[in-house]
Every structure is written in structure tokens, then in C-alpha cells.
Amino acid sequence: MADAQTPPNPSSLSSLAKAMDATKTLKVMLVEDHLAFRQALALLLGHEGDLEVVAQAGSLAEARASAREALGGDGQLDVAVIDLVLPDGEGSDLIGELRRSSPGVSVVILSAAMGPGHVDEAAKAGADVVLDKVESIPTIAGEIRRLGGG
């Protein structure tokens, strides 16, 4: 009776590797000026196995710098979650810039400023979806996955 374990079958390892590749990790950028809210959102989204917050910013200026830094790796963000009202401008101003630097990026506007003018402004700027900050983490994560193709 042999006590040695049977070595793994190479074809089963290949199948496992393919299955792991099929679960794409979506790269997410958060642009939110309220630090505690942004950190909590990053922490909660980070617990989702298929979402990775690769950049965070509290203003347009920080977002521009963070996007350049985050894009330094493979050059692609999957989804940006952006607040509309930032201390140095409107979050919607960032949408076009992100799309030029990261073609294919999807944009979720997550804001408490949800008046009709703000929603229209976000839609005109090219936001893919507009959510109120009171949405649940599963709802926000679900929209990120849907937009990111996950």
C-alpha cells in the first residue's frame, strides 16, 4: 500500500487555471471627497473577490493624478465611481478625460446631489449609470460588475 500522493493531473491544473482566468478582477477607481465614505466604500468593495480598488481621489486634481498612476500598469481602468460635487469642480468634468486615457472605461456617478439638473448633466457628460449614495453595497457592486462585464 503506497503512502505517496498521486501527482496532480496536468489537464486538471490547466482547467483550474482557465476557470480562474474566467473570473476577471475589475479595476475600479473611486473619486469621492468625503474621506470616511470613500474609505468605507473602498473597504467594502475590496471584500468583493472580483473587484479591486486601484485608485482613490478626493478631488478632480487628485483624480487626474491617481488615474495616471493607476494607468501606469496595464493602462486600463474598468470602472470609475465618481461623485458629482467635488471641492475643485464637477465630477462629470472627469468623464471625458478618463475615457480618453482609458478607452472602454465605464462610469458610475454616485452622488447625493441627485436633482434633475445633476442627473441630466451626468448623462450628457457620458455617465453610464447614476446612483444615489444611499444605494446598498450589493447594488453598487452589481452595477460595477454589469458595466465592467463581470
Top-confidence residue, 150 or 41? 41
Which helix (H) or strand (E) segment holds residue 114: the answer is none
Report the DSSP pairing between strands 106-111 and 129-132: parallel
* Domain limits for position 137: 24-148
CATH of the domain at 40: 3.40.50.2300
Query: Which DSSP letter does residue 50 get?
Result: T
Q: Is 12 part of any domain? A: no
Structure confidence at residue 11 (pLDDT): 47
pLDDT digit string (tens) for 31-70?
A: 999 999 999 999 999 999 999 999 999 999 999 988 877 6
The grid coordinates listed for 21 are 482566468
Residue 48 lies in a domain: yes
For position 19, what pLDDT does the model report? 43
For residues 111-123, one letter each, b for 16 or more C-beta atoms within 10 angstroms of the residue's C-beta and e for the rest, the string is bebbeeebbebbe
Residue 19 lies in a domain: no
Report how many domains make up the chain.
1
Q: Count the neighbouring beta carbons within 10 Å of the beta carbon of residue 89.
A: 13
Q: Give CA–CA dist 137/9, Å, rounded.
A: 40
84 assigned to some structural domain:
yes
| Interval 97-141: pLDDT, tens | 888 888 889 999 998 877 777 778 888 889 999 999 999 999 999
C-alpha cell at 141: 457592486
- Asked if the structure places residue 4 within a domain, the reply is no
Say if pTM beats, i.e. exceeds, 0.95.
Answer: no
